[in-house]
Structure 1
Amino acid sequence: MLSAIDYLLIVATTIVCTGVVMGGAWWALHLNRRGSIVSQTVILLVATVLSIAATTLAVLVEMYFTAHDLTVLAWVLAVSGLISIAAARLLLGRRVRTSITALADSARRLGDRAGAGAGVEADGPGWREFETLSAELEETSRRLSSARAEIEALDADRRQSIAWISHDLRTPLTGLRAMAEALEAGTADDPVAYARGIRGRVDTLSSMVEDLFELSRLQSGTLVLRRETVELLDLVSDAVADVMPVAQQRGIRIVHRGIEGRVLRADPRELTRALANLLSNGVRHSPEGGEIVVSADVLPRDRLVLSVLDQGPGVASEHIGRIFEVGWREDPARTQSDDLGGSGGAGLGLAIVRGIAEAHGGDVSAQRVDGGFRLDLVLPAG
């Protein structure tokens, strides 16, 4: 029967032997801190086996076992420990190498295929930590592929927009060149009319450049709004005045409903510009002698919707979501109309409207309705 002192001696011996062995293991891990996972694991396995063997032999020596028994036990511990370490290293090393190789291959494929838009898939069963990392690589691959596709779509839109805008800039420039050459050669029948035409085309180009600058400020986030409390009727009146000359030439009436008494916090200059662009779009696509209705209504959550309804055919349902994109036109062959001024058909007006709406914390939408096509500008009322 062991006494309390014997138990204390066993515990103390175990603590000392284990502490010495684990201290050596810590030092070995420090020296091998840049080594492989397998080598780090082997050091821990060896330390564990040595700790158990050293503690067992030390306790048996204290219990006065015979030399023969100690020798037998030492051999048993040594052989068993070596075999266990070798087997663990073989099994563990193989699994670790397999998992790490699979992860390395996934990372390599991710780098190779990201440019082509392809992804990687999570590898089969393995260690839970490695499975988690492999799943993260798969998710990263999916996100990269999605981002790549989005960038390619944006780049395609950018190239198309540049091509359209270049074409629309070239049209008035060609006219300017022809009229200037006619004036220079003295072949112009009415020099005053030619000069008037040159001025009109210069105004068109200036408006397009101004629209491009405005759009760049909206897209870059450098536009600074100067909000103030404004009467919606005043804004609508100013916007109507901008397009009224062209509307009268085509016999188009512009009326408003539900505008009186509406107020909101907005930048009057920018919002007037957005309304004028909406009205210009309506005038451009309305039939001669038609009518454009400007109306306002209050939506839930303290929001105001300003609608411009024209009697034109609008765009096809599948294209409605694209009319606010830069440079988009349902008919790619269509060029700007000098009579309307501004960016005309360059596909900038509605893109600017969307940018101004979003800068105010609002949104824009379009829909085909009975008897026409409606554009809605939604803004915070407060």
Structure 2
Amino acid sequence: MRDVLLTFLMALGGSLTVAVAGLLVLRGPLRGRSVTAHIVVLLLVTVVSVLAGIVGASLEMFISDHDLHVLLIVVGTAATVSLAAGLWAGRRLARASMWATEAREREREAEARRRELVAWVSHDLRTPLAGLRAMTEALEDGVVADPATVADYHHRISAETERMAALVDDLFELSRINAGALRLTLSDVPLGDVVSDAIASATPLAEAAGISLVAGSDGWPTVRGSVPELSRVVNNLVRNAIRYTPPDGTIVITGGQDATGGWLAVSDTCGGIPEADLPRVFDVAFRGTPARTPARDAGGGLGLAIVRGLVEAHHGEVAVDNVNSGCRFVVHLPAVA
């Protein structure tokens, strides 16, 4: 009975000593380190506690040399397997924790973007609605009676209605992209035809603003894509350039093909985008800072976000950089196989 009690006390003392040492290590040098390091330390505490008990028992001659060797082999093998399993489990837990953290961060960013979008849209709808209500009431109450003013009111009501319809259309398109409900009908699309249609559509707007619109490419590529969505991409880029380019400015649309596929570039003379704004240009509801040339029509701040969503739906990429006295938007799209 005395031998059993002595063995128990030696094992308890060794285990407590090792456990305290492990706790000090975890609270000291390893404080704030990875989950893998903590798991390895805990496994080492267990293994070293067992080894301390075995060594203590052997020193008191409670086990033979043969039994000591057998125990050391068994404990060593178990320790190796345990540490390997601990490293594997720790790394998996660390990756899972990292993914969970990134997912929470993405959710917070998405929620922030949603709140920002709601704020922008609420403002963009509230302002024209107030004007429409005032003009409608003026017409109904007969406050405005002369034909010229009535015609002007009708024209302004029509313009504001079209602007609101365009904003709602942008919101619908963006919701389809974000919800994964966008369905592309892919075909071989000559990019030059899409650009020609976009230029024809935007030329009256550019001429009214005193801006030159030029297609400066001789070798337009053929890409794999959906015509309506690619047309919207080009139209949004061209109209965005018109919106921010001052009178007497120039917008040049070029295209070509490289090792990665077909590409399209829209360059303007808007004065450039502040470096701090470049990473946010394609964010929802982002309209830039006062440092950029004031726009004639700020729009809903959704056009470039839609461009990015549609390009990524085509497995392509879109980027923007400052060049010379303006900026250059470049779209890369998969070429025809």
SS at structure 1 position matched to 2:286: coil
Measured after TM superposition, the shift of residue 369 of structure 1 is 0.7
1:328 has 2:286 as partner: yes
Aligned counterpart for 1:257 among listed residues 216, 228, 234? 216
SS at structure 1 position matched to 2:263: strand
Partner residue, 2:118: 162
Change in CA separation of 1:369 and 1:202 when aligned onto 2, cut-off 3 Å? same
Is the contact made by 1:239 and 1:272 (CA closer than 8 Å) also made in structure 2?
Answer: yes
TM-score (norm 1): 0.65
Measured after TM superposition, the shift of residue 372 of structure 1 is 2.0
In 1, Cα distance between equivalents of 2:93 and 2:14: 26
Partner residue, 2:152: 193
In 2, Cα distance between equivalents of 1:92 and 1:263: 73
Aligned counterpart for 2:317 among listed residues 360, 363, 372? 363
Amino acid across the alignment from 2:317: D
Partner residue, 1:354: 308
Partner residue, 2:77: none
In 1, Cα distance between equivalents of 2:102 and 2:309: 25
Is the contact made by 2:210 and 2:247 (CA closer than 8 Å) also made in structure 1?
Answer: yes
Is the contact made by 1:324 and 1:354 (CA closer than 8 Å) also made in structure 2?
Answer: yes
Is the contact made by 1:295 and 1:307 (CA closer than 8 Å) also made in structure 2?
Answer: yes
SS at structure 1 position matched to 2:299: helix
Is the contact made by 1:120 and 1:137 (CA closer than 8 Å) also made in structure 2?
Answer: no
Measured after TM superposition, the shift of residue 377 of structure 1 is 1.0
Structure 2 unaligned regions, length at least 5: 45-81
Measured after TM superposition, the shift of residue 138 of structure 1 is 6.0
Is the contact made by 2:311 and 2:331 (CA closer than 8 Å) also made in structure 1?
Answer: yes
Measured after TM superposition, the shift of residue 271 of structure 1 is 0.3
In 2, Cα distance between equivalents of 1:253 and 1:355: 28
Post-superposition Cα deviations, 1:137-166, rounded to whole Å, max 9, x if no partner, equal 666555544443443333223222221222
Partner residue, 2:43: 127
Amino acid across the alignment from 1:306: L
In 2, Cα distance between equivalents of 1:119 and 1:278: 47
Post-superposition Cα deviations, 1:259-314, rounded to whole Å, max 9, x if no partner, equal 5553222101000001000000110111112221110021213x111001111113
Measured after TM superposition, the shift of residue 210 of structure 1 is 0.8
Q: Which moved more, 1:185-194 or 1:286-295?
A: 185-194
Partner residue, 1:313: 271
Partner residue, 1:372: 326
Post-superposition Cα deviations, 1:43-97, rounded to whole Å, max 9, x if no partner, equal xxxxxxxxxxxxxxxxxxxxxxxxxxxxxxxxxxx76456435644665588689
Partner residue, 2:58: none
Aligned counterpart for 2:204 among listed residues 245, 261, 286? 245
SS at structure 1 position matched to 2:183: coil
Amino acid across the alignment from 1:316: P
Q: Aligned runs of 1:1-382 on 2, under 5 Å?
A: 80=3, 83-84=6-7, 87-88=10-11, 91-92=14-15, 123=38, 125-128=41-44, 132=87, 141=97, 143-188=99-144, 189=146, 190-260=149-219, 262-301=221-260, 303-331=261-289, 344-382=298-336
Q: Which moved more, 1:126-135 or 1:364-373?
A: 126-135
Change in CA separation of 1:230 and 1:127 when aligned onto 2, cut-off 3 Å? closer
Measured after TM superposition, the shift of residue 331 of structure 1 is 2.9
Post-superposition Cα deviations, 1:216-239, rounded to whole Å, max 9, x if no partner, equal 111121101011112222111221
Change in CA separation of 1:368 and 1:119 when aligned onto 2, cut-off 3 Å? same
Post-superposition Cα deviations, 1:154-199, rounded to whole Å, max 9, x if no partner, equal 3223222221222112222122112111111212242222122212
SS at structure 1 position matched to 2:276: helix
In 1, Cα distance between equivalents of 2:142 and 2:307: 44
In 2, Cα distance between equivalents of 1:296 and 1:136: 46
Q: Which moved more, 1:84-93 or 1:195-204?
A: 84-93
In 2, Cα distance between equivalents of 1:380 and 1:135: 37
Change in CA separation of 1:142 and 1:269 when aligned onto 2, cut-off 3 Å? closer
TM-score (norm 2): 0.73
SS at structure 2 position matched to 1:317: coil
Change in CA separation of 1:363 and 1:93 when aligned onto 2, cut-off 3 Å? same
Is the contact made by 2:216 and 2:254 (CA closer than 8 Å) also made in structure 1?
Answer: yes
In 2, Cα distance between equivalents of 1:214 and 1:250: 27
Structure 1 unaligned regions, length at least 5: 1-77, 106-117
Post-superposition Cα deviations, 1:305-326, rounded to whole Å, max 9, x if no partner, equal 1001111113111211110010
